[in-house]
Chains A and B, each alone.
Chain A
Amino acid sequence: MHQRQRSSTAAKRPGTFSARWGQAPLAVLLALGLGACGDGRDEVTISAASSLTEVAEALETELERQHPNIDIQLNLGGTSGLVAQIRSGAPVDVLLAADQLALSADDPLALETAPLATNELVAVTPPDRALTRNDLSDNALRIVACDPNLPCGRLTEHLLADLAATSLLIEPDSLEPNVRLVRQRVLSGEADVGFVYRTDTIGSDLRILDLDATHRNTVTAVRLTDSDATRAVMATILDGTTVLEIATTLGFGAP
């Protein structure tokens, strides 16, 4: 978006391969290198969990309103994938993780962590499909959940362990790489049951199945770099009103 147009000064004269095209890749490299500060604003990259898509988008608008000289770049995906990117050196300044375990406070990468909001795991069925708790042990049902290395997947494993203790054995079929894909499988009717966050059901016609067991994750902000811009952004995220207002509007609980 902020990348400059490629320079068109490459020589137009006919001739050898390199005279015609040799400078083009260099120009591209140059343009990419300059792209980061194309409009003079400081760039702060926020990686946010899929379940926080709407929170992150609203937050981006709010942060850019409060800090006109900061440009927020959003990177959305499953928390475990985001953490894997960060561990392999991706230039991310702030992580909004779906739980507190993904990148814990004692991890050397985490310069500062803070709980932002809570989210509850629920079982959902398609709009036109009414199931009860006891139907869930039916083997013919197609059940989808988050991959267990994701926060929503860890939470699902805890929930299923609790249910197993009451002799309700449920085994998910497909394990999806992010919670929004789980929701989509159920919304489209490909799956009969999915395990998603309560906030993922808002605005959709999904039916929530009462499981009589509550499991919550704590959405956590993690600061990863030390620039002034990143500190300013983190301070706004933690000021206690900005994020909480956005999050509660979208159905999250207080931390």
Chain B
Amino acid sequence: MSSLTKVGRFLAALAFGLLLLPFVALLSETPWSELGSILTSDTVANALKVTAIVVPTSTAIVFLIGTPLAWMLARTSGPLATALRSLVLVPVVLPPVVSGLLLLSAFGRRGLLGPALESVGIVLPFTIGATILAAVFVALPFYVLAAESGFRELPATMLDAARTLGTPLDRLLDRVGLRNARAAVAAGLALAAARALGEFGATITFAGNVEGATRTLPLATFSALEQDPDIARVIGLMLVVISIGVIVLLRNTLIRRPR
């Protein structure tokens, strides 16, 4: 296993080529001369606006509710914790369209909580709230798992010391946990933001395709593909650039994580 044979090297090159070729192809098809006019068009501007609201908001919610959950998972063991951890993982594996279906069952107008929500004036589907909820649902596991692994690596003695000094849990989390697991938390947030950015299936299923409210950049790409592929290519290129930005952010935290 120490070195690859000729066939192994060929397969590795094949894998790399497979990953690289589509990007080269997209660049070669990008309508550079129309770049400016497409980027400033209403279609792109509206979708960019939705994405610019949805990604930071959902990432903030993920941080807010995911951190205590990650902390709890990191500090507990046994069958219950294993079951909880598996449950948290499910949206990672689930096809996003199924996530959308689950969200409809729970928060749709006729879903489990739909009537109760409607009685207080909240109808989620077709609103930006639904888009954010869908993003939170699919992105949460990525953050929780990364943050949990960070919290797990904290020395128990340090935590015990803090606890015996009588620091309340939330303060403990704030002072000790987040500071010392900063790299893992940052990596988790970047992963969650990336997942929220790319979210498509759950959004179109649960939130619909409403310009200015639920039509994010990925949904706009999908719509444009059938109408004007050049617009789709430009939005695609924009998402590639943003994704590379996320990777660079990740490289500094996750990939070259200091030990």
Contact = CB atoms under 8 A, between A and B. Distances in A.
Interface of A: 16-19, 22, 25, 78, 80-81, 83-84, 88, 142, 144, 147, 149-150, 173-177, 185, 188-191
15 contacts: A18-B4, A18-B8, A22-B11, A144-B208, A149-B227, A174-B209, A174-B210, A175-B223, A177-B204, A177-B209, A188-B104, A188-B109, A188-B110, A190-B104, A190-B125
B19 interface: no
Given A17-B8, A142-B126, A185-B208, A190 B226 contact: no
A189 B115 CA distance: 11
Contacts of A144: 208
A22 B8 contact: yes
A163 to B, nearest CB: 20
B209 A147 contact: yes
A9 to B, nearest CB: 16
Contact of A188 (B1, B7, B108): B108
Contacts of A78: 226
A188 B208 CA distance: 13
Nearest to B208: A174
Contacts of B226: 78, 80-81, 83-84, 147, 149-150, 177
B91 interface: no
A169 to B, nearest CB: 17
A190 B223 contact: no
Interface of B: 1, 4-8, 11, 104, 108-110, 123, 125-126, 204, 208-211, 214, 222-223, 225-227, 229
Contacts of B208: 144, 173-174, 176, 185, 190
A25 B15 CA distance: 11
Nearest to A149: B227
Contact of B227 (A80, A176, A191): A80
Contact of B110 (A16, A88, A189): A189
A222 to B, nearest CB: 17
B204 A173 contact: no
A85 to B, nearest CB: 9
A179 B104 CA distance: 19
A84 B1 contact: no
Contacts of B126: 142, 173-174, 190-191
Most chain B CB within 10 A, of A17, A144, A147, A188, is at: A17
Nearest to A192: B109
Nearest to A87: B229
A64 to B, nearest CB: 30
A17 B8 CA distance: 7
Nearest to B222: A177
B64 to A, nearest CB: 28
Contacts of B5: 16-19, 22
A80 B222 CA distance: 11
